[in-house]
Each structure stands twice: as structure tokens, then as C-alpha cells.
Amino acid sequence: MMRIARLETFSNEFVCFVRLTTDTGAVGWGQTSTYNADITATIFHRQVAPWALGADVSDVDALVDRIEEREHKFPGSYRCRAIAGLDTALWDLRGKLEGKPVVELLGGTPRRLRAYASSMKRDITPAEEAARFVRLRDEQGFDAFKWRIGAECGRDVDEWPGRTEAIVPIVARALGPNVAKLVDANSGFSPKRAIEVGRLLEAEGIGHFEEPCPYWKLEETRQVADALAIDVTGGEQDWDLGTWARMIEMRAVDVVQPDIMYMGGLARTLRVVRMAAAAGLPCTPHSANLSLVTICTMHLLGAIPNAGRYLELSIEGPDYYPWQQGLFLGDPFAVRDGQVEIPSGPGWGVEISPVWLDRAAYQVSELTS
């Protein structure tokens, strides 16, 4: 039996990497979920590490369950965000021990993956969004794009008046046929307004309508899914497996979108993947930034039978997400012909930049005996 002997974090406000070392000296690298990652690092050392230190590394599911039970008074996002750091480090460790990429541990093989270019911007005009999409289509070969409509938790009030009605046809028509078109409302609409917008989406050839209604109102989302022919999708915020079971059982969405890091790692995400597969639903995970979440999602999509059509790949750069710069050596997100490559090295197959790690806040928890 190999045991967890040391858990180190390297964090700033946005990102927290985890280095796990076993009692035999083997090492795995993971990451907690992004944003408020400094707070997550504190939770990691306070509420995750004490239960993980000394534990056997071979059964991720059992360890994650045990930590959730020990910390059952603290359910929710932060606990999952912190556990994701442990889970992803354990998968990396296992890959390194077996000399295999995680995609192979899951039964797949490293290969090229179609990506959709995912915009994170609402403060962008329809014309500017269309122009940068066309540039990405022509220069990088993307054939799938997602843009934003409505306003985040907007209660039917648009980012500015008329933006949704303008940006849907302008971007859709600029991209032309043979391009998959996706939109995201980020919990912006009532069912009535969502269905009305959905008719416009249907008319303009959009095939994926993400998070039309407040995500916690599953019945409202189901109303929209029932009314529209196009795929209604969602689940990125959800971490609770009971909610997932209900969402899938009631067919609130046509496509499930768990976020590996919000879920608490790969082991818990695989449970959602299996539930969805049993219900005949595809899984197109949420991976909205260029940290380890998108790498982990590549490995997952390369292996699961109900993988959706594409990987979410953020197109935002240093102007919007400066914190994403310089996390990894090389460019694991390089795009060719609209595709990325699942890393083939052991574990996650990426190397975290030593320069970035040097600048991060350091904390350690370790076995004392």
C-alpha cells in the first residue's frame, strides 16, 4: 500500500496547484478549482488534507467519499473545489506510476479532439464578436463557436437593450453554414423569455442553448427543453449528485455539462457521466478557462462513450484573463484545424511552470509520524 505523505499547495487568488507526495516519494500534480483559489487552498489544508494524509492512494472514489463524510457539515462548492485538488493529483500520480496518460487509465487513447471556440465576453458588440469568430474560423480552423446572450442571472433584462436579438443573427450569419453554433444565457431568462429566444435560435441554426433559466430551477429549464427542438444544456454549477440524478431523471437538459473542478474532481464527474450515459444523454463538460480543468476535460472526453461533440476551449487571452498566462510549460492548448491534442505523457501530461510556482503562496500539510 502506498500512502499520501505530503500535500503542498501553490496558490494565488485565481489558481491553486497541488503537489501530492507518497511515502515512497512518488509525486502527482493536481489543481483545485479556479477563482478564490487562495481561500480554497485554506480549505484544502484545513478540511481535506487531514483526512487524506496517510490514506491509500489507490481508491480515489473511496477517499473522496470518506472526506465528504468527515466534512458532512460543510457540503457545497468550496468543499468540492478543494477536493478537486486532491482527486486530480491522485489521477496524475496513478498515470505517472503506470506510465500512462489519464485518458488511457479511463479506457481511451490520446488523440486529436474537436474544440469549440468559447467566448466569455458579454461586453462585446455583435459586430466585434462576429469579426473575431470569423478570424478564428479562418486562421485556426474552428468549426464550432459559443457566444453569450442575455445577462448573467439577468431576470430577462439584457446586457443592453436589444443585444440578444442583434447578436444571434449577426454572429450566426457571419459564421455561415457548416459551423456548429452554441449560445449561453448563464441563467438569464424566465421560461417564457427563454422559449421566445429559443425560437430565434432555431430560426438561425443554433443547436445548443446553454443554461437558459436560473440553473437551480430545474423545472423551468425542463419547460424550455420540452418546448424547443434544439438542445437545452446545463449543469456546470452543479456538484450535488442528488441534484444531478434529479436533473437527468426529469430530463431538464438534453446535454449534461459538469465541470470537473466544480464537481470535486474526475471521480465524482465520472459518476455524472455514467448517470447521463445510462439515460442516453451526451456529456459536454464545462471547461471555461485555460487552467488544468481544460486538460482534465480533454482526457475525459477522449475516453467516455457519451462524449459530446466537442471540447469547450476558451478564446480569451491576456486582455481578459491575465491570470491564465504562464501556468504551463509549452502550449498544451495549441489549436490546429480547430482541434487540440490530448496530452500523451504520463498523468495529465503537462508540466506546471516552475516560474509560476516560485511566485505562488506556499503551504504544506504532512504526516508527522
Interface with Mg ion by CB under 5 A: which residues?
Answer: 184, 210
CB of 324 to Mg ion, least distance (A): 17
Is there a contact between 191 and 224 (Cβ–Cβ < 8 Å)? yes
CB of 169 to Mg ion, least distance (A): 21
Distance of CA 55 to the CA centre of its chain: 27
Instruction: Pick the closer one to Mg ion by CB: 92 or 184.
Output: 184
* Distance (Å, whole) CA 86 – CA 68: 13
Among 331, 314, 341, 334, smallest CA distance to 116 is for 314
CB of 243 to Mg ion, least distance (A): 16
CB of 206 to Mg ion, least distance (A): 14
Position with the least CB separation from Mg ion: 184
* Distance (Å, whole) CA 307 – CA 282: 6
Is there a contact between 333 and 117 (Cβ–Cβ < 8 Å)? no
Per the DSSP assignment, residues forming a β-bridge with 232 are 209
Among 123, 214, 195, 191, smallest CA distance to 160 is for 123
Helix orientation angle between 292-301 and 266-278, rounded to the nearest 10 degrees: 40
Instruction: Pick the closer one to Mg ion by CB: 284 or 324.
Output: 284
Instruction: Pick the closer one to Mg ion by CB: 188 or 343.
Output: 188
CB of 186 to Mg ion, least distance (A): 6
